[in-house]
Chain A
C-alpha cells in the first residue's frame, strides 16, 4: 500500500511516498525555505504559505519522475493538519484534499508531533511500547508517555518558549543566522566552560515542565554586559553558545530522567528539530544511566519532512478518513489526536 505524505506546517515543503507493505520509503523530497526566512530572523507565515504553493507541484512531479511511479498508483494521501502555522498548513491541506478528490483516494489527517515521534519507529524498528518521548522543536517542548500508537499522555511541556525557539532567539542576539539551532551547536564545539552561571529555570520543580525564557533573558543580559566591556569576539560568541546549550540540555535531561524514573519507563524517544543536536544526543546517551536508553530518528527525519507524515498516515489508515472539507487545526493538542 502506497501512502503519499504531505508536510507544510512551517517552512519546509516535504513530500514523500511510503510503501506500507514493504515498510520502505520510496521517495522523499524536501524544499527548505530557511534561506528566505533568514532575511527576517524567523519564519514569516505569509511568505511561507506563498512558497509552499510555488514549490508543491514541482516537488511532487520530481518525486514521481525519479521513482518511475505514476501518481495514480497511490492508495492514500496523508497530510499535516496541525499543529503549525495556519496559512502554510492550508496549502498542504488544499493539495492533499484535492488530489484525494481527483484520484478518488482516501485522505488521512496527521498530527505533526505524533508523526515526529512515530517516525522513530521507522528508524528504530525494535522500539516497543510503552515509552517516554521528548518532542523538541522550534514550536514545542513536550514530555509525553506513549502507551500505544495514538495514546499519549502529556506529562509536561514548556510554560513559555519552546527550546528550539530559545536556540533561535539566542542565535539572533549573537548575530548568528537563522535557523539558530545548528549555528549554536556548531559554535559550541569551539566554546569553553565559563562561569556565566546561566540559570536552569524550574529544573528542580516537582513536575515535568520546562521554561526557557529566563535562560534567554540571562543570555541577553550577559551579552549586553560583555558588549560594554569589549567587542563580541568569535571566541566570546562561542563561549556564550556553549554555556547556553549546556544549560538548555541540562533542563531537558533532568526532567527526562525524572519522568523515566517516576513512570517506570526505560526508553525515551527524542524527536523534532532539536533532536538533531549532536551534543544533546551524546549527553542523553551517556548520562541517562544504566538500564535506560535513548532512541532517535535519523538526522534527516528530525527536522520536518514528508516521510514521517506518509509513515504515520499508513499507521492511521484504518482510524481516520476525512471528508471533502479543507480546514486545518493549528493548535491541535497531542492528547486530542482523536478529535482532529
Chain B
C-alpha cells in the first residue's frame, strides 16, 4: 500500500463530529451524536484513538480532513486541528470534499454508480455535487457548488433510476421517487479511507498551511449584504 501506516481522518463538516484512525489495515473511530460539539470532543477523540492503538502522537504519518463545504465553524475547527497537528508533527495533509465523502459512503452502502449529493447550506441554499464510481475510481460529474433552493430542479432528474440522491438537502426535492433518495446519511470519518487511498495514489497530499476550509461561498456574500 503506502508509506503512511498511521492515518488520522477528521470529519467536522456536518452536525456531528467524527474522527477515525487507521493503523495498518485496522480502522477505529469515535463519533458523537450531539450536534455541533466538534470543538469539545475532537482532541479527546483523537487522544482516545491513539491510546486504543497504543500509539504516540508523533507516530501519526498523515492526516486527512474533510474541508468542506459545510458548517463554517465546524470546518474551521477541523482544519485548524488538522493543520496544527500536521505542522507540529511535520507530516502532510489531505483535504477531501465533504460531499465526495458522503457520496462514497452512499456508494458503498447502496452499491449505486451515480450519486448526487444535496446538503442543506441554510439561508435557502444548498450544496450539491454529483459523482460517478467506476473501477475503484471516483469521477466528478457535476462540480460542487452552492445553489439556491429554487434552482434545485434544474440540476436533478427525479425520474432517473440510475442516480441515487442523498444528503439532508433532498427534502427540498419535490415529488422525488422514494426509492432513489436517501436523506439520513451523514459523513463519517471512518468512511474517508477509500478516498484517502485514492488521494495518496495521486500524491495529492500537501503541506499543512496549504489546506483551508472550502466554504463554497466567498466574500461576495458579504459585499451583497453591505
Contact = CB atoms under 8 A, between A and B. Distances in A.
The A contact surface, by secondary structure, is: helix
B85 A101 contact: yes
A326 B209 contact: no
Contact of A49 (B44, B76, B87, B89): B76
B42 interface: yes
Contact of A324 (B47, B58, B77, B226): B47
A2 to B, nearest CB: 15
A46 B71 CA distance: 12
B11 to A, nearest CB: 15
A50 B46 contact: no
A159 interface: no
B84 A98 contact: yes
A46 B72 contact: yes
Where chain B touches its partner, the secondary structure class is helix
Given A91-B76, A102-B57, A61 B209 contact: yes
A274 B223 CA distance: 28
A50 B208 CA distance: 16
B1 interface: no
B80 A94 contact: yes
Contacts of A91: 76, 80
Interface residues of A, number: 32
Contact of B89 (A56, A94, A102, A327): A102
A54 B215 CA distance: 13
B133 to A, nearest CB: 31
Contact of B39 (A49, A71, A90): A90
Given A53-B213, A90-B39, A326 B85 contact: no
Interface in A7-57: 39-40, 44, 46-47, 49-50, 53-54, 56-57
30 contacts: A39-B226, A40-B226, A47-B222, A53-B79, A53-B83, A54-B212, A56-B83, A57-B87, A57-B209, A60-B87, A71-B87, A71-B88, A87-B73, A87-B76, A90-B73, A90-B76, A91-B76, A94-B39, A94-B76, A94-B80, A95-B83, A97-B43, A98-B81, A98-B84, A98-B88, A102-B89, A324-B44, A326-B39, A326-B42, A327-B40
Interface of A: 39-40, 44, 46-47, 49-50, 53-54, 56-58, 60-61, 71, 87, 90-91, 93-95, 97-99, 101-104, 324-327
